[in-house]
């Protein structure tokens, strides 16, 4: 994978932890310059100290509409171009719908759906003008299976999966590839919100994925010949269906 992204500029939202961080590190290892978008300024500073000028930190709260709208212009101001957008930032909300707070539902849907759509919308003019680009969205196995313990989260991923597939059909004529990665349970901070029983079952059965394994699939998608689009990869632990 060495130098496969040499000379390219990528941006990863929610890039300071979890799947986003694994994606950032894989892209850096492949030679890309990577803009890491996250609201955790301290984590961003630590990452830049570790990786140097190849990593561009951008502290943004994507749930702030003005800050979200400024993301792509700020990236282009600092890098001059953007070849890859990994729209990864997201929240998790599980449990029974009747127990969910309305504010938590709004927050999760805004980040998982609205922000992704707006980020992709904002980057498209730049990619269309250049006639090339890659957009990868972090979706979920929940986009393909009606998971009974997470109706709000699953709904957000079903919505974003539809968005990815319809947008892909609109923009491929401009040389832009759009695809989604749909992993099963990944070992990230999001699992802290899982029902305790489900988390214990997953750990006991070996039904969890490491973030680096997801990043490897993202890199596979990005490094295919330009005439090939990997539109959606569903990946899950072999033991998940036990």
Q: Which two tokens stand for residue 8?
A: 């390219």
The residue written with tokens 């998608």 in the block is 221
CA distance 235 to 141: 7
Structural domain contains residue 1: no
Q: Is 227 buried (19+), middle (13-18) or exposed (0-12) by CB count in 10 A?
A: exposed
**Owning domain of residue 172:** 9-241
Residue numbers annotated as active site: 153
Structural domain contains residue 4: no
CA distance 64 to 60: 8
Per-residue pLDDT of the chain (242 residues; tens, 9 = 90+): 468 999 999 999 999 999 999 999 999 999 999 999 999 999 999 999 999 999 999 999 999 999 999 999 999 999 999 999 999 999 999 889 999 999 999 999 999 999 999 999 999 999 999 999 999 999 999 999 888 889 999 999 999 999 999 999 999 999 999 999 999 878 766 566 666 777 677 767 667 888 999 999 999 999 999 999 999 999 988 777 65
The residue written with tokens 């999966």 in the block is 161
Structural domain contains residue 182: yes
Structural domain contains residue 2: no
* Number of compact structural domains in the chain: 1
Q: What is the CATH number of the domain that holds 17?
A: 3.40.50.720
Structural domain contains residue 3: no
Q: Is 67 buried (19+), middle (13-18) or exposed (0-12) by CB count in 10 A?
A: middle
């Amino acid at each position: 994978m060495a130098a496969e992204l040499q000379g390219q500029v990528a941006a990863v939202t929610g890039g300071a932890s979890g799947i986003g961080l694994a994606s950032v590190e894989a892209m850096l290892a492949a030679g890309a310059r990577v803009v890491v978008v996250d609201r955790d300024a301290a984590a961003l500073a630590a990452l830049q100290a570790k990786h140097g000028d190849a990593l561009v930190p951008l502290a943004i709260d994507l749930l702030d509409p003005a800050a979200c709208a400024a993301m792509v212009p700020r990236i282009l101001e600092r890098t001059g171009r953007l070849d890859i957008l990994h729209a990864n930032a997201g929240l998790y909300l599980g449990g029974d719908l009747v127990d969910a707070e309305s504010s938590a539902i709004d927050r999760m849907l805004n980040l998982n759906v609205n922000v992704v759509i707006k980020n992709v919308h904002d980057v498209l003019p730049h990619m269309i003008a250049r006639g090339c680009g890659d957009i990868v969205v972090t979706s979920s196995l929940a986009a393909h299976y009606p998971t009974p313990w997470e109706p709000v989260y699953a709904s957000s991923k079903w919505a974003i999966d539809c968005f990815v597939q319809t947008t892909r059909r609109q923009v491929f004529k401009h040389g832009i590839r759009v695809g989604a990665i749909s992993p099963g349970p990944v070992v990230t901070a999001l699992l802290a919100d899982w029902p305790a029983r489900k988390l214990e079952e997953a750990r006991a059965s070996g039904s969890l994925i490491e973030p680096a394994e997801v990043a490897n699939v993202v890199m596979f998608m990005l490094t295919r010949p330009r005439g090939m689009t990997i539109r959606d990869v569903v990946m899950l632990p072999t033991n998940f269906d036990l």
